[in-house]
Amino acid sequence: MSVPPTPTSAQAGAANAVMSNKTELHKVGRALVSLSDKSGAENFVRALAQRGIEILSTGGTAAMLRKAGIAVREVSEVTGFPEMMDGRVKTLHPKVHGGLLALRDDAGHTASMREHGIGGIDLLVINLYPFEATIAKPGVTREEAIENIDIGGPAMVRSAAKNHRFVGVVTDPDDYGRVLDELEKLGGGLSLEFKRELAFKAYALTARYDAAISQWLWRQELATGRQASPFPPSISLAARKVSDLRYGENPHQLAAFYRVDGATEVGVATAEVLGGKALSFNNLVDLDSALALAKEFDEPFACVIKHNNPCGAAAAKTMVDALERAWSGDALSAFGSVLALTRPLDKACAEFLVSGSRFVEAIIAPSFEPAAVELLTTKPKWGKSVRLLACGPFTPASRRADELELKPLVGGMLLQQRNLSSESRAACKVVTRTEPTGAQWEGMLFAAKVGKHVKSNAIVLAHGKQIVGVGAGQMSRVDSVHLALRKAGKRAQGCVLASDAFFPFSDGVTVAMDDGVAALLQPGGSVRDADVIAACDARGVPMVFTGLRHFRH
């Protein structure tokens, strides 16, 4: 991970300091290479050595470089101490950190280097023990995870990055080529601008690394029951930029897409993009919402998302039937929507989508049959426009209950547990004199699952396992009822209704029954519940209380 230089290197470092004062360009005379991930390292280090740069290294990295015929000096030679304690102690030494931290233009620092035989280290090539990969392995033990917490590596990264005026710190193999280009262009040195960029990336790495360790240790505490609250006293977010986006929600807003480190649940961030235009900010938001709704179901299911709300959803025996029924829930709104499917998208689904005047912005599914991809990516109008994302198989059980949802505020953030609760018939209470039929139960429970993913105030109308009308985001619940009924039209006759929260007055249920709604499901809990129940009893319409609210703001 880090090695000290010799007195001769120290003298060279002092000489380089004069150049540094004038040009901020410090030539690279010695590099310390310590890598867990050795991808691309052999050719890179060979090129460094061919430039006359002395190579210091440790353990397995040194062995790999020697095997490749590259001259390497062991860190233990420089420090005078062997690697010990199973490699836990090897670079935590003044001759390593002095070589990284010494200011080459400070007379006191260079004098200390000469006095103690500390040689300058001008380039640190490093990555860290694979902690995240270790904890992602099934059945990993606490002991194995702890052993993969790197100590010397982050310490060297911080030392080198702090002294980036004189030391380049390379933590990303993608930068190997850029380092060689700079050395060639600048006659053996690295520009201060480049070293500043490398230092930023280095501290970003250690921040992500420490955040991953902190979060894992907290989860371990929760699992033992020693912590009652799922919310840690402090939280750090670790994520890497996937790409810059063309713009944000609106063209005047800049935006970028980040992937959270260590994410294991099937999601948009981990999905494989099979084709189509670059994903936009709004595409990603809608795809995430669509997939969240699809994860509620363990059967052939499709949903149609528009402006972050489901306008259609259905379950059926086959995937193409579910897709057709979901689309027909609100065919007008479905144009230009985003879709999610719980089964692979086959050719029959693709043929349905490209027929007529249909078009969608993006589709996420466990996978896509080759014939479906061919059709979707060659059909005129669809062609290269529609985005196809294969996320891998998932079920409701694949959702991680220990993940927390974050909502940013200006100057702060909110954390909450995910809303993974769903209504069950056994937990519901019939509060009217009339009992729902079996078909009504099926429709209400289906609508309730969809309603969890509708912006509040949310009203969802269904016939069986098909949504026929959605009222979303209205300031009053009765307005959401009116909107859902208007979307349903004649299909409201005999349908069932699910509400995400209680009806504060009887007006909403009265309006619904006037248009033919035949059964209603809601959480209950209003001070006027008795009035609402009485309105249903007056019509002989069954109503069910769930005791479970699903606000989504």
- Average pLDDT of the segment spanning 302-312: 97
Which letter, b or e, does each residue of 15-26 get, where b requires 16 or more Cβ atoms within 10 Å of its Cβ? ebbeebeeeebb
Check 38, 201, 277, 307 and give the catalytic one. 307
Question: Cα(1)–Cα(96) distance, rounded to whole angstroms?
Answer: 9
The pLDDT value recorded for residue 5 is 44
The phi, psi pair for 62, rounded to 5°, reads -60, -40
- Average pLDDT of the segment spanning 266-294: 95
Check 38, 162, 201, 379 and give the catalytic one. 162
Look at the block and give the residue holding tokens 């070589």. Answer: 99
The CATH architecture annotation of domain 266-397 reads 3-Layer(aba) Sandwich (3.40)
Percent of the chain with pLDDT over 90: 74
Question: Can 449 be counted among the known catalytic residues?
Answer: no
The pLDDT value recorded for residue 60 is 87
C-alpha distance from residue 501 to each of 61, 73, 328, 473, 478 (Å): 60, 69, 26, 13, 12
Question: Cα(132)–Cα(260) distance, rounded to whole angstroms?
Answer: 12
The pLDDT value recorded for residue 285 is 97
pLDDT surpassing 90 at residue 544: yes
Question: Cα(321)–Cα(147) distance, rounded to whole angstroms?
Answer: 52
Question: Can 109 be counted among the known catalytic residues?
Answer: no
pLDDT tens digits, 485-525: 999 999 999 999 999 999 999 999 999 999 999 999 999 99
The phi, psi pair for 349, rounded to 5°, reads -65, -45
pLDDT band at 59 (very low <50, low <70, confident <90, very high): confident
The pLDDT value recorded for residue 10 is 41
Least confident of 79-83, 108-112, 338-342, 543-547: 79-83
Give strand pairing partners of 392: none
pLDDT band at 453 (very low <50, low <70, confident <90, very high): very high
The answer to whether the beta carbons of residues 530 and 538 sit under 8 Å apart is no
Domain ranges for the chain: 7-214, 266-397, 429-545
Residue-averaged pLDDT of the chain: 91
The pLDDT value recorded for residue 78 is 85
Least confident of 4-13, 24-33, 237-246: 4-13
Quick one: fold of 429-545? Cytidine Deaminase; domain 2 (3.40.140)
Q: Do domains 266-397 and 429-545 have the same CATH topology?
A: yes
pLDDT band at 11 (very low <50, low <70, confident <90, very high): very low
pLDDT surpassing 80 at residue 14: no
pLDDT surpassing 80 at residue 9: no
- Average pLDDT of the segment spanning 145-149: 90
Nearest CA among 42, 82, 86, 47 for reference residue 66: 42
For the chain, give me the number of helices (H) and strands (E)? 20, 23
The pLDDT value recorded for residue 92 is 81
CATH number of 7-214: 3.40.50.1380
The phi, psi pair for 147, rounded to 5°, reads -65, -20
pLDDT surpassing 80 at residue 216: yes
pLDDT tens digits, 19-45: 444 446 788 999 999 999 898 999 999
User: Angle 152-162/192-224 helices, nearest 10 degrees?
Assistant: 150
The pLDDT value recorded for residue 407 is 92
The pLDDT value recorded for residue 24 is 61
